[in-house]
């Protein structure tokens, strides 16, 4: 039986206050611009709502101000599956407007939404800040406690099980469609407008299984309403070490399925390359140790590391993977 305790690691750390973060013992950093940048406050657009992973940029803002001598302000501009906020950044190509975007918004959405106006190739990757996995969950009343048992149960009831997602063409939808194909089961997709609704319906039994994130699932797993079976990724999640990967269970096509969030500038920006590299290096330093990674891990995020080139390679790999999946499944958003 899969241990629920593994999903809950870090709950206490998640309660660490923002004040505690602000008062952390940070090493002194030289202040000032790099390559003449920045000369005024830096606007960081999140093309999503006021909740979600991009809000974690605020964990970095004070330290970045200390390093570069200007404030960094996160602004939420939701709508259009991320296109509205991302387009604002592209139009505000002033060297002081950046975007913290997910690969869902700039890689996956252009593949499934016809005439989507934004593409990851329009941006200069600066830093991969965090990422998170997809976690397979089942309703607690379902008589299965492993992926093998779920597959056997579903095959005995072809077409009788429902699975959910936060919308057609989302990562949660596509990862489940791949699982359905690889396992050979038949199930019905039920899209929702939010992961919250999707999770509630799974807990109540309208849905029998679904994918969400370790962090989102934590309260319902702790309450015994959802049972975790497997995660994406090549290795087990640090925050859920008792839960096997899909690869371990015989399904290797899920090793690179993550949602990533990173900082990008518009291509052709007037922001100097030296400043981009310095910003990337500072984010890497903040991610390496101390309160920022502690807070991120407490929310079941994995810490982004590497250079701007590494982040660019990650987006390229995501595009290749999701392109193949979209081609295989034929999933498109109908407008």
Give residue limits of the domains in the chain: 31-131+260-329, 135-254
Residue 326, token pair as written in the block: 């979209």
DSSP state of 74: E
* Domains 31-131+260-329 and 135-254 are alike in CATH topology: yes
Whether the Cβ atoms of residue 237 and residue 303 lie closer than 8 Å to each other: no
Burial, 96: exposed, middle or buried (Cβ in 10 Å; 0-12, 13-18, 19+)? buried
pLDDT beneath 70, residues of the chain = 1-31
| One-character DSSP codes across 302-335 | EE--S-HHHHHHHHHHHHHHHHHHHHHH------
Rg (CA), the chain: 20
pLDDT at res. 33: 82
pLDDT at res. 194: 86
pLDDT at res. 334: 83
Please give the order of strands across the beta sheet that includes 97-102.
72-76, 42-46, 97-102, 258-266, 123-133, 302-303
Select from 3.40.50.2000, 3.40.190.10, 3.40.50.720, 3.40.50.970 the CATH code of 135-254.
3.40.190.10
Residue 209, token pair as written in the block: 């299984």
pLDDT at res. 32: 77
Q: Which residues contact 270 (CB under 8 A, 6 or more apart)?
A: 93, 94, 95
pTM for the whole thing?
0.88
The CATH number of the domain covering residues in 31-131+260-329: 3.40.190.150
Phi and psi torsions of 124, nearest 5°: -100, 110
pLDDT at res. 172: 95
CA dist 266 and 87 (Å) reads 10
């Amino acid at each position: 039986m899969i241990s629920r305790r593994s999903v809950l690691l870090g709950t206490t750390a998640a309660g660490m206050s923002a004040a505690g973060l602000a008062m952390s013992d940070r090493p002194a950093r030289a202040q000032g611009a790099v390559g003449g940048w920045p000369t005024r406050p830096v606007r960081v657009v999140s093309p999503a709502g006021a909740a979600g992973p991009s809000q974690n940029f605020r964990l970095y803002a004070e330290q970045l101000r200390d390093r570069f001598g200007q404030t960094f302000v996160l602004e939420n501009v939701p709508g259009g599956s991320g296109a509205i906020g991302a387009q604002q950044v592209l139009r505000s190509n002033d060297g002081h407007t950046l975007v913290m975007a997910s690969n869902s918004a700039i890689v996956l959405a252009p593949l499934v939404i016809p005439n989507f106006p934004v593409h990851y190739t329009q941006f200069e990757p600066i830093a991969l800040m965090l990422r998170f996995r997809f976690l397979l969950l089942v309703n607690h009343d379902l008589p299965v406690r492993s992926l093998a048992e779920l597959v056997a149960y579903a095959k005995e009831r072809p077409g009788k099980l429902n699975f959910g997602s936060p919308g057609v063409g989302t990562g949660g939808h596509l990862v489940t469609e791949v699982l359905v194909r690889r396992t050979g089961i038949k199930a019905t997709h039920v899209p929702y407008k939010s992961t919250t609704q999707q999770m509630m319906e799974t807990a109540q039994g309208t849905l029998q299984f679904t994918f969400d994130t370790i962090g989102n699932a934590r309260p319902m797993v702790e309450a015994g309403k959802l049972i975790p079976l497997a995660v994406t990724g090549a290795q087990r999640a640090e925050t859920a070490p008792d839960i096997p990967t899909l690869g371990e269970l015989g399904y290797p096509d899920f090793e690179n399925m993550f949602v990533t969030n990173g900082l990008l500038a518009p291509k052709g920006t007037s922001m100097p390359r030296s400043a981009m590299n310095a910003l990337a290096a500072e984010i890497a330093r903040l991610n390496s140790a101390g309160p920022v990674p502690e807070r991120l891990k407490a929310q079941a995020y994995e810490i982004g590391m590497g250079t701007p080139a590494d982040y660019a390679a990650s987006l390229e790999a995501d595009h290749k993977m999701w392109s193949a999946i979209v081609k295989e499944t034929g999933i498109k958003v109908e407008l």
